[in-house]
């Protein structure tokens, strides 16, 4: 099958770039002919909340034959890119959807596909709506996604969001596949902690990835005094760039008196250092306030690391006491266990594999 896959890949950074790259590799491994189309420019500098959208990794994940055709701010490149895709004559066109910023580009692709190419258009919806929804986001999502033939989402909650916009949409739920491509970086825990300057004989919890409100870091910070009352000394290692004001987090740490137990590594962690952080920790904490695919959770699965994630995600800034205690109890019980276990849960390895995702993209049946 001929697949036109459109989305970010290296030199762009982050989870969706990794996701697109791994999907590309799985499609190729299954014998499909893949046209990989990416961006000349992804975002204008003033709009991007991080320090840079480029990947600083010395060992990047590379798609050798990617075509960097699309400039998000130049409509001429949208037309020429689609013309080139049309010349490829794909059997399926696959677009990544994660923010309404891309609405003008994907709307253009949708119209042109409907008028000229008329091939199946698959949207992979990482987030049906942005994490911080504005009044215009549902409207933009609806007018763009209406051009899709099929949709892939990563959770039941995201499926419900999509069906609320388009009740007749053909939706498949494919959980985010496991990121196991860095698992060979694992090193002994003591060595990793020495290199990071962490204590050797206390539990270390890892919060990994970009810091945004919906990821629930404040809930973990608020829980730390009670966690330490039960376990003694515990270190929380926050490894990821802040995409919002860092000051409230620092003030919270000071107010709670946990300054000697929380370490902030405020930067994007490059590929070659990922194994160092996951090797040093006893468990990863993923208390997201919204149920979307978590790249950090899939990295943890790839390293075989215990994952602490609870229903606290659904209760906003002030979870009630019962739900808050769930988070504390999960952290305490899994930190005490301090042993590796399969964190795949109820999802089979086949369902969470990249090959399974590739099969669904190409129209294969769901398991």
> Does the residue 23 lie in any domain?
yes
Residues 13 and 155 in one domain: yes
Quick one: pLDDT band at residue 327, thresholds 50, 70, 90? confident
> Does the residue 132 lie in any domain?
yes
Whole-number Cα distances in Å, 236 to 65, 186, 253, 302: 40, 20, 11, 21
Tens-place pLDDT, residues 148-193: 999 999 999 999 999 999 999 999 999 999 999 999 999 999 999 9
**Lowest mean per-residue pLDDT among 61-75, 126-140, 210-224, 343-357:** 343-357
Per DSSP, the three-state class of 131 is: coil
> Does the residue 342 lie in any domain?
no
> Does the residue 326 lie in any domain?
yes
Residues 157 and 22 in one domain: yes
* Triad 270, 276, 279: Cα angle to 5°: 140
* Triad 67, 73, 79: Cα angle to 5°: 55
Q: What is the CATH number of the domain that holds 101?
A: 3.40.50.2000
Residues 213 and 274 in one domain: yes
How deeply is 236 buried, as exposed, middle or buried, from its count of CB atoms within 10 A (0-12, 13-18, 19+)? Answer: buried
Residues 24 and 164 in one domain: yes
Residues 319 and 357 in one domain: no
> Does the residue 197 lie in any domain?
yes
The Cα 305–Cα 237 span in angstroms is: 15
Residues 246 and 153 in one domain: no
> Does the residue 344 lie in any domain?
no
Residues 244 and 95 in one domain: no
Residues 110 and 144 in one domain: yes
Q: What is the pLDDT of residue 132?
A: 84
Which is more confident, 50 or 330?
50
What is the mean predicted confidence (pLDDT) over 283-311? 81
Q: What is the pLDDT of residue 21?
A: 98
Q: What is the dihedral of CA 61, 67, 72, 73, to 10 degrees?
A: 130
> Does the residue 14 lie in any domain?
yes
> Does the residue 343 lie in any domain?
no
Q: What is the pLDDT of residue 293?
A: 63
Residues 74 and 33 in one domain: yes
For residue 330, pLDDT over 70 is answered with yes
- Provide the residue range defining the domain that includes 228: 183-337
Could you give the number of structural domains in the chain? Answer: 2
Residues 212 and 332 in one domain: yes
Residues 312 and 354 in one domain: no
Residues 356 and 333 in one domain: no
Quick one: pLDDT band at residue 311, thresholds 50, 70, 90? very low
Name 215's Cβ contacts closer than 8 Å, sequence gap at least 6: 207, 209, 286, 287, 288, 289
Tens-place pLDDT, residues 272-296: 999 999 999 999 998 876 555 688 9
- The pTM of the full predicted model, rounded to 2 decimals, is 0.90
Q: What is the pLDDT of residue 312?
A: 42
């Amino acid at each position: 099958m001929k697949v036109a896959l459109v989305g970010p890949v290296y030199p762009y950074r982050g989870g969706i770039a990794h996701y697109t790259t791994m999907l590309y590799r799985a499609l190729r491994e299954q014998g499909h002919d893949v046209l990989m189309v990416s961006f000349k420019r992804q975002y204008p500098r003033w709009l991007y909340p991080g320090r840079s959208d480029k990947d600083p990794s010395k060992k990047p994940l590379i798609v050798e034959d990617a075509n960097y055709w699309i400039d998000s701010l130049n409509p001429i490149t949208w037309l020429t890119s689609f013309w080139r895709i049309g010349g490829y004559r794909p059997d399926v066109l696959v677009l990544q959807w994660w923010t309404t910023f891309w609405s003008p580009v994907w709307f253009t692709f949708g119209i042109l596909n409907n008028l000229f190419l008329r091939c199946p258009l698959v949207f992979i919806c990482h987030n049906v709506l942005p994490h911080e929804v504005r009044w215009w986001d549902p409207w933009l999502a609806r007018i763009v996604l209406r051009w899709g033939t099929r949709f892939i989402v990563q959770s039941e909650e995201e499926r419900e969001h999509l069906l609320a916009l388009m009740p007749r949409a053909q939706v498949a739920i494919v959980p985010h596949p496991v990121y196991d491509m860095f698992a060979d970086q694992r090193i002994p825990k003591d060595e990793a902690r020495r290199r990071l300057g962490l204590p050797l004989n206390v539990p270390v919890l890892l919060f990994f990835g970009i810091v945004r409100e919906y990821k629930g870091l404040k809930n973990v910070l608020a829980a730390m005094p009670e966690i330490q009352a039960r376990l003694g000394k515990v270190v929380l290692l926050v490894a990821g760039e802040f995409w919002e004001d860092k000051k409230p987090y620092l003030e919270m740490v000071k107010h709670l008196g946990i300054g000697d137990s929380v370490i902030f590594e405020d930067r994007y962690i490059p590929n070659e250092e990922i194994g160092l952080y996951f090797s040093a920790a006893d468990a990863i904490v993923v208390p997201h306030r919204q149920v979307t695919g978590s790249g950090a959770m899939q990295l943890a699965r790839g390293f075989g690391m215990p994952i602490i994630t609870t229903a606290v995600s659904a209760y906003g800034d002030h979870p009630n006491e019962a739900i808050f205690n769930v988070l504390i109890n999960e952290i305490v019980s899994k930190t005490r266990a301090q042993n590796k276990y399969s964190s795949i849960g109820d999802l089979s390895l086949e369902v969470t594999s990249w090959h399974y995702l590739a099969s669904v993209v190409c129209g294969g049946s769901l398991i």
